[in-house]
């Protein structure tokens, strides 16, 4: 047994110390943040993941300037201490649980930041994500999501910029089981890897926050979806849930969304909103499907690197480039205008959009 700082808090879920998270080697615990100016510019994002059974922690910080996505990737051994939220130059501080968090990036190869997130309303809890391939749990996790405002600054190569007073964005916390670390090479007899379709659109309107997500199978049937509305300052009993339906188009020869229309049946929310992309963020900058910095990989000890991604010069159909977040202008049928992101990942065939092969692009 190993005692750590977490054991002095009443947060245990099993008879064991907090260092042990059940028995599934793919258990993880994760923070995610994104932010953007009112016109969608100055996009930044951060993430930190803990993998208790792999004894690894990793973190990433990204900012887009001049068409280049500047990234820091960092990793170290966890040492079974889950309460130390620092990796290389990146650390996260929980200032006030469920309300305010701080991201600090000490200067690393010209990139530094000090940013505070303040929630606009109580976080929403999304439906539990449970998905199996045959008898094996591919995903089984819970996530909470919260829109908010940011203040602080970001510096890249000597160019320090304060965040606009209207800088908004989204943060989430998820925990449970996802594929992490080195890929499991053991095949599932009789069960091929199915197609995977994911959309997530947290939106900031002047008077509140709109949330929608959907996981579909390769035929377009949803196995997890939710729409929700949280008015400014809403408490946990003032969040309204309902349903949504997205009509999406793809940019030719890619799997990236070109636009979309979301129809909603949610109390307090518009009946319909349309999305107009204002840019593109590659999720590999936060480790998602990154060939070297995927989540939970062990790099032999502490390691931090800088990576610069030229967004205009990459292959959109390379596997690590499929997963994107598009900052979007959002227009509601009642005339309200908001700003948010349209995240999408499509792997394998997806018949509603005419995708038939594992990595073919839109016609």
Give the bridge partners for 76, in sequence order. Answer: 57
Q: How confident is the model at residue 137 (pLDDT cuts 50, 70, 90)?
A: confident
**What is the distance between the alpha carbons of residues 322 and 305, in angstroms, rounded to a whole number?**
23
Q: How confident is the model at residue 99 (pLDDT cuts 50, 70, 90)?
A: very high
Task: Give the pLDDT mean for 261-273.
Answer: 98
User: Percent of the chain at pLDDT above 70?
Assistant: 99
Q: Cα(128)–Cα(314) distance, rounded to whole angstroms?
A: 34
pLDDT value of residue 1: 61
* pLDDT reported for residue 194: 65
Alpha carbon distance 355, 252 (integer Å): 12
Q: What's the confidence (pLDDT) of residue 189?
A: 81
Query: How buried is 100 (Cβ within 10 angstroms: 0-12 exposed, 13-18 middle, 19+ buried)?
Result: middle
Q: What is the pLDDT of residues 185-233, one digit of tens each?
A: 887 787 676 679 999 999 999 999 999 999 999 999 999 999 999 999 9
pLDDT at 193: 67
Question: What mean pLDDT comes out for the span 4-17?
Answer: 89
pLDDT, position 8: 87
**pLDDT recorded at residue 146:** 98
Top-ranked range on mean pLDDT: pick from 7-21, 183-197, 341-355: 341-355
**pLDDT tops 70 at residue 123:** yes
SS3 category, 284 = helix
| Coil, helix or strand at residue 53 | coil
SS3 131: strand
Confidence bin at 97 (pLDDT 50/70/90): very high
Residue 283 backbone phi and psi in degrees, to 5: -65, -15
Range 317-338 average pLDDT: 97
- Burial of residue 104 (number of CB atoms within 10 Å: 0-12, 13-18, 19+): middle
* pLDDT band, very low/low/confident/very high, at 153 (cuts 50, 70, 90): very high
Give the pLDDT mean for 276-294. 97
Q: What tokens were used for 202?
A: 């947290």
Percentage of the chain lying above the pLDDT 90 cut:
88
- Backbone angles phi and psi of 320, in degrees to 5: -75, -10
Which residues touch 140 (CB under 8 Å, ≥6 apart)? 128, 129, 130, 131, 176, 177
The pair of structure tokens assigned to 153 is: 């600054």
What is the predicted pLDDT for the residue at 195? 77
């Amino acid at each position: 047994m190993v005692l750590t700082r977490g054991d002095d808090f009443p947060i245990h879920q099993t008879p064991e110390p907090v260092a042990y998270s059940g028995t599934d080697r793919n258990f993880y615990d994760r923070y995610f943040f994104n932010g953007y100016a009112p016109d969608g510019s100055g996009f930044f994002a951060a993430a930190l993941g803990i993998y208790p059974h792999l004894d690894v922690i990793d973190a990433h910080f990204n900012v887009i300037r001049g068409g280049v996505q500047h990234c820091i990737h960092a990793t170290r051994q966890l040492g079974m201490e889950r309460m130390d939220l620092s990796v290389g130059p990146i650390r996260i501080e929980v200032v006030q649980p469920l309300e305010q968090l701080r991201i600090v990036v000490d200067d690393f190869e010209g990139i530094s930041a000090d940013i505070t997130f303040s929630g606009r309303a109580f976080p929403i809890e999304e439906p539990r994500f449970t998905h199996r391939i045959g008898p094996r749990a591919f995903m089984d996790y819970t996530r909470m999501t919260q829109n908010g405002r940011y203040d602080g600054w970001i510096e890249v190569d000597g160019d320090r910029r304060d965040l606009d007073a209207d800088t908004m964005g989204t943060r989430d916390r998820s925990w449970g089981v996802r594929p992490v670390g080195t890929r499991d090479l053991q095949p599932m007899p009789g069960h091929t890897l199915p197609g995977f379709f994911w959309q997530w659109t947290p939106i900031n309107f002047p008077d509140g926050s709109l949330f929608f997500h959907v996981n579909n199978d390769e035929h377009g049937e949803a196995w997890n979806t939710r729409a929700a509305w949280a008015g400014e300052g809403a408490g946990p009993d003032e969040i309204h849930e309902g349903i949504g339906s997205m009509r999406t188009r793809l940019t030719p020869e890619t799997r990236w969304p070109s636009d979309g229309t979301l129809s909603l049946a949610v109390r307090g929310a518009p009946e319909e909103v349309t999305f107009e992309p204002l840019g593109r963020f590659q999720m590999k900058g936060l480790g998602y499907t990154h060939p070297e910095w995927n989540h939970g990989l062990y790099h032999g000890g502490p390691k931090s690197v800088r990576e610069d991604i030229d967004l205009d010069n990459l292959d959109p159909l390379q596997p690590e480039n499929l997963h994107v977040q598009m900052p979007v202008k959002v227009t509601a049928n009642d005339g309200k205008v908001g700003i948010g992101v349209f995240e999408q990942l499509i792997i394998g065939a997806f018949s509603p959009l005419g995708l038939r092969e594992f990595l073919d692009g839109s016609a």
